[in-house]
Amino acid sequence: MTQLSDAITGLLESFDLPGGGTLLSRDMIRAMRVEGGRVSFVIEAPSPEIARQMEGFRAVVEARIAELPGVSSASVVLSAPTQTPKAPSLKIGGHAQPQQGRMIPPGVKKLIAIGSGKGGVGKSTVSSNLAVALARAGRKVGLLDADIHGPSQPRMFGVSKRPASPDGKSIIPLSAHGVTLMSIGFMLPEDKAVVWRGPMLMGALQQMLMQVEWGELDVLLIDLPPGTGDVQLSLGQKSEVDGAIVVSTPQDVALIDAKKALDAFATLKVPVLGMIENMSVFVCPGCGLESHIFGHGGVATEAERLNLPVLAQLPIDLDTRLAGDGGAPVALGEGPMAQAYAKLARELIESGAV
């Protein structure tokens, strides 16, 4: 740095701002130029209101800069972000911030996690449809897509807008089909892989739970990543999950992993509300023949062994797949799958779980 730059930095450090810190420590200086003896820069205030209040301060800073040896002219301008919502500061790879207390979004009455051991068993499909069915039953529902490595909810709800952030910190969730929605998928390009370590995942989860303005919700469903990794661990340890639902297909490999997911919830002391068997049977639309493509009865046996209810048995269903891919979950309609999800929602409400 030149002598003049040093002198400018020293001067800027000498002004304490109300509320603590300096223009430099609070990162409010923009477009600094020192050319010959001409100095110019912008002070960016957090809001137009604060910019107005800082006018006297700006004039003092400008005058003091002009007095520095070697300065021929000084121009200090105040600016503030416009009121247009700007992109949230959900920085990729941000670490969890230290915070007091636990990650419990204010205004949310119940947190329900939806997990699976294995990927691809239909956990996100079940989450989206259950969210829609609960909303249709009159519940105020939020859905947090915490499947950080493979967020599917933007596609399943047909929304991919970047959420707004009026102050650059709080994030306004999106809303689709009566459900308040947030997904890491809204913040990243679809083809961008998330390669994060544990603390970064924790940071992202913390931001999605606590920076998002969820508002008043009867229930926030959390679509977990498959398996028993860092997101499950953080959620179990740092939040208060009221209940978990484990989705599995009847297939042995899926069930082995589902048992691990159940075991993880038990370790984290998260009460399991029950299991959902997805893709339990395929009924041929031509002849009505039932085929148990992924096996039969495995989920019921496991649930019985653990004294857990089987909350639903959902068949392999083309409409479910098409509706999910098309951005309008099948539970929005009137057909048999919509009825099955409506029944699941009703029973969860009646049991007091949501």
Ligand X SMILES: Nc1ncnc2c1ncn2[C@@H]1O[C@H](COP(=O)(O)OP(=O)(O)OP(=O)(O)O)[C@@H](O)[C@H]1O
Which residues participate in the annotated binding site for ATP?
117-124
Name the segment binding ligand X (CB under 6 A); options: 2-10, 212-220, 320-328, 339-347: 320-328
Position 145 contacts ligand X (CB under 6 A): no
Position 134 contacts ligand X (CB under 6 A): no
| β-bridge pairing 179-183 and 174-176 | antiparallel
Q: How far apart are alpha carbons 227 and 225 in whole angstroms?
A: 6
Torsion of CA 35, 36, 38, 40, to 10 degrees: 20
Q: How far apart are alpha carbons 10 and 315 in whole angstroms?
A: 70
Position 228 contacts ligand X (CB under 6 A): no
Position 316 contacts ligand X (CB under 6 A): yes
Tell me the angle at which helices 298-305 and 252-267 cross, rounded to the nearest 10 degrees: 30
How are the residues of the chain apportioned to helix, strand and coil, as percentages rounded to the nearest 5? Answer: 35, 20, 45
Nearest CB to ligand X, comparing residues 218 and 319? 319
Nearest CB to ligand X, comparing residues 88 and 274? 274
Position 234 contacts ligand X (CB under 6 A): no
**How many residues sit in the footprint of ligand X (CB under 6 A)?**
20
Nearest CB to ligand X, comparing residues 123 and 136? 123
Is residue 300 within 8 A of residue 277, CB to CB? The reply is yes
Position 36 contacts ligand X (CB under 6 A): no
CB atoms within 10 A of CB 162: 15
- Among 183, 211, 248, 320, the residue binding ligand X under the rule CB under 6 A is 320
Name the segment binding ligand X (CB under 6 A); options: 31-39, 123-131, 265-273, 286-294: 123-131
Place of tokens 């992993």: 257
- What is the identity of the amino acid at 155? R
Contact positions vs ligand X (CB under 6 A): 116, 119-125, 147, 150, 152, 226, 278-279, 314, 316-317, 320-321, 324
